[in-house]
């Protein structure tokens, strides 16, 4: 059982770490912070509830079952953080959000204190690592502590489910998917964790034994519910960023043939090292540097090369656009060769504008790069027309 809850906690902490990772210059975001706090508290609850952790805490403090109020207090703090997260996520006037946050804290802070007081008043000398809820279900003060932590958690999950259900009717896309996952997680928590706990405790009150519901059914259901909560939290925020990162890495890689041919003449200043952390920033720098190189090579563009390749491509049955890109790639390759060989620019440079410079974004450059990759290298590429004192070193790929 300890391995299962530790694994669930590790997954939650990993998702929080990924979500909280951001450039050092980024402005702190209350929504991101509250999301990470909620996920971290959820992971802490799992770690605290593991029998190995409970035994270690009890031994360290010398108090039997001290791990119980610790775990229940963490669970109540997690319940409070869920409500705070929803307040920030839903948004609205700052004053209203602030009131909702303070109201949640005002409700759950006394609850946590009460749990500790009840445990202090109770007589629970026998250490129970897996069945404390049912073993002490009829013990004064312990009984009230168990019911109170369950009620506090139920209130938070029900409130979360209601808000998510109403909100899901108003939105679409990834946000709606995340909300639906949270609703499913809430149902699992309510039915798989809380209802089984309530049933097992009430069974003890009535003289029956349904302890297996509390010890065997509730923990894995709670773990699955928490994982669904976390996925619902982070999916609308991480997936678009992950897709953007993937697209940036792909385009950065596909621009390599073009950058290899023309990068030696670029004098675009290098960005700070920290910029190289994000694919979009690397791609943006490469795009700027390539445009700078194309501008430097413009005096070497030869219309005769372009016209010859254009006619040949059209004769091979290529479309007008494909033929144009192939012809521009050939003209660019020849210009890079002449610049690298320190030849003189063309007497009458071409005034033709490359397709890649007419369109926004990297699509045109990627298309030119792929065409250039199929164009034979006219000759060795070395130091070009830019003077060594002005030339920038070729950046890492």
Token representation of residue 11 = 């997954």
Phi-psi region of 22 (alpha: psi -120 to 50; beta: other; left: phi over 0): beta
Question: Phi then psi for 37, rounded to 5 degrees?
Answer: -65, -45
The pLDDT score that the predictor gives to residue 8 is 59
The pLDDT score that the predictor gives to residue 274 is 53
The pLDDT score that the predictor gives to residue 267 is 76
Give 359-383 pLDDT, tens digit per residue.
888 889 999 999 998 877 554 433 3
Domains, the chain: 2-243 (1.20.1070), 255-373 (no CATH)
C-alpha dihedral (59, 64, 70, 71), degrees to nearest 10? 100
Where do the H-state alpha helices sit in 91-141?
A: 94-121, 132-135
Distance CA 6, CA 27 (A): 32
Q: Does the predicted TM-score (pTM) go above 0.85?
A: no
Q: 192-200: long-range contacts (C-beta < 8 A, 24 or more apart)?
A: 192/217, 192/218, 192/221, 192/222, 192/224, 192/225, 193/218, 193/219, 193/221, 193/222, 193/225, 194/150, 194/153, 194/154, 194/157, 196/221, 197/133, 197/150, 198/150, 200/133, 200/134, 200/137
DSSP codes joined into one string, 221-261 = HHHHHHHHHHHHHHHHHHHHHHHHHHHHHHHHHHTHHHHHH
Distance CA 356, CA 34 (A): 43
Distance CA 371, CA 262 (A): 14
Give 291-300 pLDDT, tens digit per residue.
999 999 999 9
Residues 6+ apart with CB under 8 A from 87: 97, 100, 101, 104
Distance CA 18, CA 31 (A): 15
Angle CA(166)–CA(194)–CA(236) in degrees, nearest 5? 40
The pLDDT score that the predictor gives to residue 380 is 41
Judged by DSSP in three states, 107 sits in: helix
- All residue ranges of the chain with pLDDT < 70 are 1-28, 271-278, 377-397
Residues 6+ apart with CB under 8 A from 75: 45, 149, 152, 153
Token representation of residue 101 = 């946050």
The pLDDT score that the predictor gives to residue 50 is 85
Distance CA 233, CA 66 (A): 31
Q: Are 167 and 155 in contact (CB under 8 A)?
A: no
Distance CA 301, CA 306 (A): 9
Residues 6+ apart with CB under 8 A from 318: 326
């Amino acid at each position: 059982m300890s391995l299962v809850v530790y694994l669930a906690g590790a997954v939650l902490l990993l998702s929080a770490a990924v979500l909280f990772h951001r450039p050092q210059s980024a402005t702190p975001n209350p929504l991101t912070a509250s999301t990470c706090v909620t996920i971290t508290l959820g992971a802490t609850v799992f770690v605290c509830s593991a029998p190995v952790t409970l035994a270690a805490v009890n031994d360290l403090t010398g108090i039997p079952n001290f791990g119980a109020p610790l775990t229940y207090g963490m669970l109540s703090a997690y319940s409070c953080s869920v409500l705070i997260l929803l307040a920030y996520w839903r948004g609205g006037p700052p004053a209203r959000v602030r009131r909702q946050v303070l109201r949640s804290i005002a409700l759950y802070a006394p609850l946590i204190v009460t749990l500790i007081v009840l445990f202090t008043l109770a007589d629970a000398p026998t250490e129970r690592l897996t069945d404390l809820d049912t073993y002490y279900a009829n013990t004064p003060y312990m009984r009230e502590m168990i019911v109170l932590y369950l009620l506090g958690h139920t209130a938070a999950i029900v409130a979360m489910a209601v808000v998510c259900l109403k909100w899901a009717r108003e939105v679409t896309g990834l946000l709606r998917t995340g909300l639906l996952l949270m609703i499913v997680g809430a149902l699992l928590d309510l039915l798989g964790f809380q209802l089984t706990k309530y049933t097992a405790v009430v069974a003890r009150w009535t003289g029956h034994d349904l302890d297996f519901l509390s010890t065997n059914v509730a923990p894995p259901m709670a773990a699955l519910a928490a994982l669904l909560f976390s996925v619902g939290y982070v999916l609308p925020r991480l997936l678009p960023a992950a897709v953007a990162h993937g697209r940036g890495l792909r385009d950065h890689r596909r621009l390599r043939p073009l950058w290899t041919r023309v990068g030696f003449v670029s004098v675009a200043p290098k960005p700070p090292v920290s910029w190289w952390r994000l694919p979009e920033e690397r791609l943006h720098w490469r795009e700027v540097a390539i445009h700078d190189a194309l501008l430097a090579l413009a005096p070497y563009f030869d219309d005769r090369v372009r016209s010859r390749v254009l006619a040949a491509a059209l004769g091979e049955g290529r479309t007008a656009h494909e033929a144009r890109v192939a012809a521009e790639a050939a003209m660019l390759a020849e210009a890079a060769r002449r610049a690298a060989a320190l030849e003189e620019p063309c007497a009458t440079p071409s005034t033709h504008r490359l397709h890649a410079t007419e369109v926004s974004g990297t699509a045109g450059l990627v298309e030119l790069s792929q065409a250039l990759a199929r164009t034979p290298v006219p000759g060795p590429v070395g130091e070009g027309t830019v003077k060594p004192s002005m030339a920038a070193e070729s950046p890492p790929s």
